[in-house]
Structure 1
């Protein structure tokens, strides 16, 4: 078993809240029936058999949704393998989503400017895989390593400071997670990477509240990961907006907390990791230069093992899901009669 779009497996996580919601609905229906003091009245309003049918219907809907999401991953029966030469770079974009990135000292604000910059770099690198890691006080993988550039761009468009509730800026924990992501970037099942370049593009205003990141920067350098740091914002004090809330951040004494970009931090991170520093505060053309620099890293091809034969299974998975929906519809019509 292999997948045409293994990066879509992450969408199966949507089944967790769906299962919780359905379980809650079943529990509420049962509790509502038990609250009726008159057992005969309860049976007339919601017979026990009807409650069981309702549970089966919701279970069928859940299973059908599971099959549709599974089909979205493109399940395939893969046989044999052969070496294939493939060019491209694995690029991990690391984006600071702390509230200080909402400061509008660059137009329209630091975060929006950074997102448009990532999109610009991404469009300049159509070969290879890309991933997106968000960080503030803690890191979050927004998009795993993928060749699906449309999915990457869609997930990039959803980025906001609200996605990471733990505010602050912790470079060390984010870089450690980036290291672990590169350690497991071998595509699952049917593809085995033998050689290829790995790149981190880190976009931030440079504020770091986590202390020393020297150790992880050295580890990145030793592992051969190329690091490009891009600073956004101006080194002048500015109040920190509170995201979707009105007003600005204040300390315990009620004083306005101010922030300023720190190009020195970003320059030091690039130097410690053997990377390159860029300043995007004034010139958007810097993103084109980053894309060009990354393109020069593709001096060799990657050797990957690809299946000799792929038999698509998703039509059968979709058919099974549709049959479950028809069965659910039949149960619903039978209950109405």
Structure 2
């Protein structure tokens, strides 16, 4: 496979035909000025060593050298080189609640936005750790498989919205079950499942699934997004309008701390409430840091072999060749006429 690292620099090649045209115009203008003072035969007698072709050859060599330099700057890459790396780290699976209740603004700017910021802060603390993102409402889906590509993870997090899952609800049990299957098989001492939700669980198997995770060596942590007194759920796209029940009353969504505490206890982890004053993330980070790191499986990375050196050597060759070509004729070869008797 072949590619350029900075392909945008190839646009500089358009300079070369412009420079060739300018050189031709200048040579033509200079020749016409000479012809005003003397004929071509007279000029040939006055300057017998003058060459009409060598300046062109010198200039062509300079243009070839410039083209090679531009190619070198564009960083051509050809072929691949494979290498294996080993590293130690933890595996974290974050399950983020994207149900409609996460739009409540009892935590500013909203529960969901505050949760997304918390995940970004977590990413900034990671080093050689793999992270996966699950989104859930009435169902649970993997948004991002286990990866160490933190910029990509941040991009996925920024795109999370409540409309991603049409089936409403808060299936914490399904999220835990899905999270258990998201870890890589093998080592069980370096895995943590972080559930970020307001705790309004609509299924009854969350505690059982948390116990199952603990049996597999996966610690389950819960972060409660919201306040106990709760708040209304804004209607997207409509200012000062809130979701209402069938009787027309404004729906108030409250943080279910009891449920989240039970889940964390069953999963041998801990519960943290995030509110407008503190997020509680530092204590979570400290606990996760205590997890024993394990040797990650060998990963194979493909890297391009840089080939700009060849273009640089070609440019140097053309420059040296141009340096040794004189603009006048060689006095030893000027009278050599191979095809004349």
Normalising by the smaller structure, the TM-score range is: 0.5 to 0.7
Structure-2 separation of matches of 1:205 and 1:285: 14
The answer to whether structure 1 residue 258 and structure 2 residue 252 are counterparts is yes
Relative to structure 1, the CA distance from residue 285 to residue 136 in structure 2 (aligned partners, 3 Å threshold; closer, same or farther) is closer
Partner of 2:264: 270
Shift of the alpha carbon at 1:199? 0.8
Q: For 1:255-297, what per-residue CA distance to the aligned partner results, in whole angstroms no more than 9, with x for missing partners?
A: 3222111111111110111111111114435112212221121
Change (3 A) 1:101 1:303: closer
**2:219 matched to 1:226?**
yes
TM-score normalised over the length of structure 1: 0.61
Partner of 1:126: 127
Distance in 2 between residues matched to 1:176 and 1:241, nearest whole Å: 30
Q: Is the CA contact 2:105–2:232 (under 8 Å) kept in the aligned structure 1?
A: no
Please tell me whether the aligned partners of residues 95 and 204 of structure 1 are also in contact (alpha carbons under 8 angstroms): yes
Per-residue CA deviations over 1:273-328 (Å, capped at 9, x if unaligned) read 1111111114435112212221121x343152355x95759x9xxxxxxxxxxxxx
Aligned residues: 227
Does structure 1 conserve the Cα–Cα contact (< 8 Å) formed by 2:115 and 2:196? yes
Counterpart in the other structure of 2:92: 91
Runs of 4+ displaced beyond 4 Å: 75-79, 193-196, 309-313
Secondary structure (helix, strand or coil) at the match of 1:95 reads: strand
Q: Which residue of 2 aligns with 1:248?
A: 242
CA deviation map 1:47-77 (0-9, x unaligned): xxxxxxxxxxxxxxxxxxxxxxxxxxxx978
SS in structure 2 of the partner of residue 210 of structure 1: coil
CA distance in structure 1 between the aligned counterparts of 2:256 and 2:235, rounded to whole angstroms: 20
What is the alpha-carbon distance in structure 1 between the residues aligned to residue 87 and residue 210 of structure 2? 29
TM-score, normalisation: structure 2? 0.61
> Structure 1: which 5+ residue stretches go unaligned?
1-74, 187-192, 316-337
Q: SS of the residue aligned with 1:254?
A: coil
Number of the residue aligned with 2:156: 155
CA contact 1:85–1:304 (8 Å) conserved in 2 = yes
Q: CA RMSD in A?
A: 2.6
Following the alignment from structure 2 to structure 1, what is the Cα–Cα distance between the partners of residues 89 and 249?
50
Residue 289 (1) aligns with residue 283 (2):
yes
Q: Unaligned regions of 5+ residues in structure 2, if any?
A: 1-78, 308-341
Structure (1 or 2) with the greater helix fraction: 1
Counterpart in the other structure of 2:181: 180
- Counterpart CA distance in 2 for 1:155 and 1:103 is 22
CA distance in 1, matches of 2:269, 2:86: 27
